[in-house]
Amino acid sequence: MKHKEFIFLLAVLFAAPSGATQSPLPELPLIAQGEGVWRLPTGEHHARLVIDQPMTLRCEPGAVIDAGGQGSAITIAAADVTVEGCTVRNWGANLTDLDSAFFLRPEAQDAALRDNVLRGPGSGVWVDSTPDVTIENNDIEGVEAIRSQDRGNAIHLFAARGARVEGNRVRHARDGIYIDTSNGNELAGNVLEDVRYGVHYMYSHDNIVRDNLTRRTRTGYALMQSKRLTVTGNRSEDDQNYGILMNFITHSTIVGNVVTGVRQGSTGDVMIQGAEGKALFIYNSLFNRIEDNRFERSSLGIHLTAGSEDNVIAGNAFVANRQQVKYVATRRQDWSADGRGNYWSDYLGWDRDADGIGDVAYEPNDGVDRLLWMYPQARLLMNSPAIELLRWVQRAFPVTRSPGVQDSRPLMHPPAAAQLAQAKENQP
């Protein structure tokens, strides 16, 4: 047989069957289920994947992709890719190289990650300038044995737009969801536990944050350097230091959120040492609407400082906080709008006409409080006759009034806002 005829015979013998489709991921034993749809069978599969064409990858129960402790497990570099029901583990821990379970490149538009289980030290999902991605119902857990600051973020959006992050559960990552320079995204119904910051915003605008739950974090919702955020129906439970932190936030809506049980703890962040267990901390934030929220059982209900003025603060309930208000500024503020103030559980006024509005203004702080803020060492005299005398004098002879907060229309009962009732009913 001639040489050319022999080569032709081999080609015929080993050619793919007629109509067969070549697997887009030769590293995996994929089974075709339809045009562009592939199934990964049960078993442990050691691979690091790059998906560079549109496809849907579905994993059978018990199918595990193990990245061998190096790099990113799955890199998506094509539009219209969906990955569903996969367990991904043991990817790399190099945060400089952005090691992730899923790394989405800019060209991965309309990618969808659903119902996956991710277990590893680096980031769970890193979205790098990718538009219109969907990340929903994934279970993401970092490695608890690694120091918090050395772990990756569970979900990291960088320069992303149009992302929908919904129904995910996160534990033991650095930050639960980190949003950097990303506009027009929505975070909804996520549960974020035992992380540094539950939701962390930096330089991101026109975002929606709704119906999420943070628990046992070192800050529930860290909103920083952003504008036009809509933050509604969220809950913070037993977080440390801050339930909601607003740092350089403008023209935003904070409505219908519930913050309970914030206590003092270690932040692990040099920039915010000395936290006091604040349900709401507002720093240099202007022109925001803060209404129909509930802040309760925390060390401090609300703290405003650094020019945080011209905000609408009304219809909120401040319940059983050790200290209700701390306000450090040079102007007086009246926290009421359209004839409605806030509910204060320590308000001692009366309501003679039974209209639900207190007849005397609520003033949570006095000159002694401001003296103690300026000179913390004076707390040693807190229960002394001298302090009691100062308080009596300022009540009896109110000749001068120092800057502070006044609620001229305090509510006699907590507002029954629909948002608050819904937030309680949705508790998992």
* Candidate from 84-98, 119-133, 142-156, 388-402 with smallest mean pLDDT: 388-402
Pick from 86-90, 370-374, 409-413 the range whose average pLDDT is largest: 86-90
Q: For 369-389, what is the mean pLDDT? A: 53
In tens, the pLDDT along 135-186 reads: 999 999 999 999 998 999 999 999 999 999 999 999 999 999 999 999 999 9
d(CA 186, CA 163): 6
pLDDT band at residue 30, thresholds of 50, 70 and 90?
A: very high
Listing DSSP states for 111-158 in one string gives -EEES-EEE-SSEEEEEES-BS-EEES-EEE--TTS-GGGSPPSEEEE
Letter for the amino acid at 420? L
Planar angle of CA 12, 16, 22, nearest 5 degrees: 150
Three-state DSSP at 10 gives: helix
Task: Check whether 18 has a pLDDT greater than 50.
Answer: no
DSSP 8-state code for residue 357:
B
Beta carbons of 263 and 276 less than 8 angstroms apart: no
Task: Check whether 55 has a pLDDT greater than 70.
Answer: yes
CA distances from 428 to 190, 191, 212, 215 (A): 11, 9, 11, 12
- The structural domains of the chain, ordered by start, are 31-345 (2.160.20.10), 367-403 (no CATH)
Dihedral, CA of residue 315, residue 276, residue 170 and residue 129, to nearest 10: 80
Query: HSE (CB half, 13 Å, CA atoms) of 26?
Result: 1
Planar angle of CA 413, 415, 417, nearest 5 degrees: 160
Beta carbons of 307 and 329 less than 8 angstroms apart: yes
Task: Check whether 373 has a pLDDT greater than 60.
Answer: no
Which tokens is 230 given? Answer: 């809509």
Beta carbons of 163 and 128 less than 8 angstroms apart: no
DSSP 8-state code for residue 35:
T
d(CA 240, CA 222): 12
The answer for residues whose C-beta is within 8 angstroms of residue 89's C-beta and 6 or more apart is 64, 65, 66, 67, 73, 101, 118, 119, 120
Task: Check whether 219 has a pLDDT greater than 90.
Answer: yes
> Which residues on adjacent β-strands are paired with residue 202?
180, 224
* Candidate from 174-178, 297-301, 402-406 with smallest mean pLDDT: 402-406
- Indicate the pairing of strand 213-215 with strand 49-51: unpaired
Task: Check whether 369 has a pLDDT greater than 70.
Answer: no
Radius of gyration of the chain (CA): 27
